[in-house]
Amino acid sequence: MKKIVKQVLGIDVAQKELVVCLGRMYDDWTPELYSHGTFVNSKKGFDAMIKWVKKLTVETTSVRYVMESTGVYHESLAYYVEEKGHEVSIVFPNYISNYVRTLEVKTITDRTASEAIARFGLERKLDRWKRPKQIFKSLKQLTRERDQIVETRTISKNQLHAEKAEAFPNASSISRLKTRIKLYDKQVAQIIKEIAALVKQDKEVKGSMEMICSIPGVGRLTAATVLAETNGFELIRNKRQLTSYAGLDVREKQSGTSVNGKPRISKRGNRHLRKAMHFPALTAIRHEKKFKAVFVRLVSKHGIKMKAAVAVQRKLLEMIYTIYRTNAPFDKNYLTRNEAELEKAAAA
């Protein structure tokens, strides 16, 4: 009789429901997907799901709950399952989407997605998820709230500019727009203070941020955003994985002589990370001689400024990761030693 050596529950998380698939691996390395279910994305649904899993699995082998990091909808489930003492693994969405392409799946549904996640969990050795420090969760809430307010403030400023340019401006509209902009300014300042207070309370995070801010162009808000969006690089194991998570990895499509697609960044990742690196890259290019020299050299090769700027964004993000892991300040000679690597990345 074959022995079960691994059990996995693949979970496709949506806003209101969880579509799940149970899978098991036998000692002859044969995988089997054998049961499906749908549960409400709430504590009541979580409890029902865990009871359902218990009935259909063997107690001698632990069950790994595997899910994608889908925005914020998976968070409550992950915390709940981990709190109950079960093993949890959270996988980046691009990993699953790339894996699905290797399967003979013609139609993508919630059910086939849960099957792919279950099979991925059975075939791969996944890290066990640990809940991030509360400070990272709080920083993520604050930095994203600030970002939303800044975007709304920009819209109001554009509206104010347009209203003033009218042939017959409406004084009341202008007054209300100015009031809203003042409110947004006040809220942004308040959030910045709250972020500073949070960081001050945690000596380890404070020290890490000071190290990160030694990088040219990188300020406290950028450092806080990067740490928040990566949960202190909790799920990141190397620089390649980090650039993929941020969507700054380069995708190419070439086949023979007839297909030669233009290389471009995937953008299939965390948009908040990409956005956070935009202005720091421009600042580093403007004020750091070595970054500026590399930028100019890259632009002279292909003539695309944004392409060269993205290469600098990618390098800055990698440097933040390296400094956080090594707990060492920025080395001015680092860029000189890695210019060849930077140029290679930008040439793609």
DSSP string of 237-283, one letter each residue? -SHHHHHHHHT-SEE--EETTTEEPPPEE---S-HHHHHHHHHHHHH
pLDDT at 202 over 90: yes
Q: What is the SS3 assignment for 231?
A: coil
Residues 6 or more apart whose CB falls under 8 angstroms from that of 108 comprise 100
- Averaged pLDDT for residues 1-5: 88
Confidence of residue 105 (pLDDT cuts 50, 70, 90): confident
pLDDT at 97 over 90: no
Lowest mean pLDDT among 43-52, 67-76, 257-266, 293-302: 257-266
- Averaged pLDDT for residues 281-292: 88
Domains of the chain (ranges; CATH) run 4-123 (3.30.420.40), 134-201 (1.10.287), 220-347 (no CATH)
- Averaged pLDDT for residues 110-131: 92
pLDDT at 167 over 50: yes
For residue 98, the model assigns a pLDDT of 81
* Alpha carbon distance 37, 11 (integer Å): 10
Lowest mean pLDDT among 87-96, 97-106, 314-323: 97-106
Average model confidence (pLDDT) across the chain: 88
Confidence of residue 104 (pLDDT cuts 50, 70, 90): confident
Confidence of residue 100 (pLDDT cuts 50, 70, 90): confident
- Averaged pLDDT for residues 87-105: 85
pTM listed for this prediction? 0.78
Lowest mean pLDDT among 65-79, 174-188, 255-269: 255-269
Residues 6 or more apart whose CB falls under 8 angstroms from that of 250 comprise 263, 264, 265, 266, 345, 348
